[in-house]
Amino acid sequence: MIFLHGGYWKALDASATDFMAKSWLTRGWAFASLNYPLAPAATLETLIAESTNGVRYLLDQCEALGLSGRIRLGGHSAGAHLALMSCLAAKCPKAIEALWLISGVYDLRPLLGTSIAEPLDLDEARAERLSPLCLPLTGLPHLDLVHGEQDPPVFQRQGEALAAQAERDGVPVTVTLMPGYDHFDILEHADETLKLEPGRHAR
């Protein structure tokens, strides 16, 4: 499992999601928290490129790490955006069997003019070009979208829009709404949505 942290592209690091490893390890899976550079020191294009490079590197290292090659890719909030954009940029390697996206941001255009967009230096054209909801999703692996009932409505709406677009593009998708959880505490419980066969990765 490769996972990218949230933080609106400008905060936190991979250690923020290390605690999630336990639920994957108990299922026999390996877990990697992936770092990426932060805005405003790096552009959003750089964040996407570096996240994509990190995913490709781990895919290339599967054999050396003693892994079977079954890979899931995921993220929370801004990390869900980066995970999805990384998969699109990498043209969805067949090794990635599913995307696990938690309370993600899939359309950057509503951020224009807000304090969130300021360090990203977004304009309309770049926001559209870097938004998964503005791109064809054909060829993506299964999308497992998770939202908290108390997430801000915009996150739920974007998740629903992504699910609808995935269905139009022929991409299998599952949407799970978790009662009682908000944008942050959902991370502590998102593993409850996992339906995994035991991993058979490690030798």
Q: pTM value?
A: 0.94
Tokens 């959902």 appear where? 186
Query: Sorting pLDDT into bands at 50, 70 and 90, what band is 196?
Result: low
Q: Which one, of 134, 11, 166, lies nearest residue 77 by Cα?
A: 11
DSSP state of 190: G
Checking if the pLDDT of 203 tops 70, the result is: no
3-state SS class at 32: strand
Checking if the pLDDT of 139 tops 70, the result is: yes
| Choice between 85 and 197, residue whose per-residue pLDDT is larger | 85
pLDDT at residue 115, rounded to an integer: 92
pLDDT at residue 197, rounded to an integer: 58
What is the architecture, at CATH level 2, of domain 2-193? 3-Layer(aba) Sandwich (3.40)
Checking if the pLDDT of 202 tops 50, the result is: no
Tokens 């079977």 appear where? 68
pLDDT at residue 195, rounded to an integer: 73
Report yes or no: 85 and 48 within 8 Å, Cβ to Cβ. yes
Report d(CA 146, CA 157) in Å as an integer. Answer: 12
Checking if the pLDDT of 95 tops 90, the result is: no
Checking if the pLDDT of 134 tops 60, the result is: yes
| Choice between 53 and 91, residue whose per-residue pLDDT is larger | 53
Checking if the pLDDT of 111 tops 80, the result is: yes
Beta strand pairing call for 32-34 and 71-76: unpaired
Checking if the pLDDT of 18 tops 70, the result is: yes
pLDDT at residue 17, rounded to an integer: 96
Mean pLDDT of 96-125: 95
Report d(CA 96, CA 93) in Å as an integer. Answer: 6
Per-chain mean pLDDT for the chain: 92
